[in-house]
Amino acid sequence: MTALDMKSVGLSPPETWVDRYGNILFRYAVLRLRDKTVAEDMVQETFLGALRNQDAYNHQSSEQNWLFGILKHKIIDYFRKAKREQPVDNPDADINYNNTFFNDKGMWVKGPAEWKQNPGSLAEQSEFYRIFSQCLKKLPKRIADAFMLREIDGLKGAEICQVLGISANNYWIMLHRARLQLRACLEENWLTGGPSS
Amino acid sequence: MMISCQEASRLAMLRSEQPLKWSEKLALAFHLMLCGHCRRANKQLNLIRQLLHLKPLDLSAQDENYHLSLEKKEEIKRKLAC
């Protein structure tokens, strides 16, 4: 591809963004924020931010991924600002989650099953994402927030503690609980349960 | 003495967050060597993490119950046109 071709593969006109990407960004924002009004505002801020920073688009990612990157930053900023209004978590209240998964000797109550489907295969991936998002919705919001900041946004633990206003110990407890619960939920609802044919 | 599955699961989580102490590393490696359940859980969690990293937008893309309202769409379009 020549430099001239590269230039022609620029951004589409901003007035077309809302119809093209509005719903997909909104759905993601609802998953992260669990509040449609806030999600709408985040999507609006994403588009307006993109409009102001069109020059920063470097052609290395697709237009959709570029907008998605802006939305991710807006959501993290939102968490940062909202933390002052959140009640302080009591990590002790959460410590009993272990009893769901481990007995009093610390052994698995129900050992992880072998997954029948191979989630790595492309054909099955859309099913993975659909069921996983249902599992995320079952997590308490703060725990889902911590998990997604880590695994989707790729923030480091120290940053997540700062964004959510929680201690490191509390963060580890939340992350551990999220991982145990999500793995079990996925297994229950997809990989061993339900029709597999 | 061998650590419990619960402790192995906690250390496996902690390993992705910060370097473990030598004693913790050894205890985890020894446990995983002997415990098929924990090896399996670990492998499954790593796969989940990889897939999430790959296409996070796909988590919600199929959630067709949610649409940006027409009013909001128009409002944003107006603002984009300014």
Q: What's the longest Cα–Cα distance across chain B?
A: 69
pTM for this entry: 0.89
Range B60-66 average pLDDT: 86
Residue A48's φ and ψ, nearest 5 degrees, are -70, -40
Name every residue in B having a CB less than 8 A away from some CB of A. 3-7, 9-10, 13-14, 17-18, 37, 40-41, 44-45, 47-49, 51-53, 55-63, 66-69, 72-73, 75-77, 79-81
Q: How far is A82 from chain B (nearest CA, A)?
A: 23
Q: Where are the alpha helices (DSSP H) in chain B?
A: 5-15, 22-34, 36-54, 58-61, 70-81
Nearest beta carbon to residue A180 from set B9, B68, B76 = B9
B67: closest CA among A165, A140, A9, A19? Answer: A19
| Confidence band, pLDDT 50/70/90 cuts, at residue B71 | very high
User: What is the reported pLDDT for A94?
Assistant: 56
Contact B73 A18 (CB under 8 A): yes
Nearest beta carbon to residue A176 from set B10, B18, B69 = B10
| Confidence band, pLDDT 50/70/90 cuts, at residue A8 | very low
DSSP letter (8 states) at residue A190: I
pLDDT at residue A7 greater than cutoff 50? no
User: What is the reported pLDDT for A6?
Assistant: 44
The answer to whether the complex's ipTM is over 0.90 is: yes
| Confidence band, pLDDT 50/70/90 cuts, at residue A68 | very high
Enumerate long-range contacts of A115-120, CB under 8 Å, 24 or more apart.
Answer: A115/A187, A115/A191, A115/A192, A115/B44, A116/A191, A116/A192, A116/A196, A117/A190, A117/A191, A117/A196, A119/A191, A119/B47, A119/B51, A120/B47
Nearest beta carbon to residue B60 from set A30, A111, A175 = A30
Q: What is the pLDDT of residues A80-110, one digit of tens each?
A: 998 766 655 555 455 566 678 999 999 999 9
User: What is the reported pLDDT for A133?
Assistant: 94
Mutual orientation of helices B5-15 and B22-34 as an angle, nearest 10°? 120
CA distance A189 to B48: 14
Q: Where are the alpha helices (DSSP H) in chain A?
A: 3-8, 17-33, 36-52, 63-82, 91-94, 98-101, 122-138, 141-151, 157-164, 168-186
DSSP letter (8 states) at residue A86: S
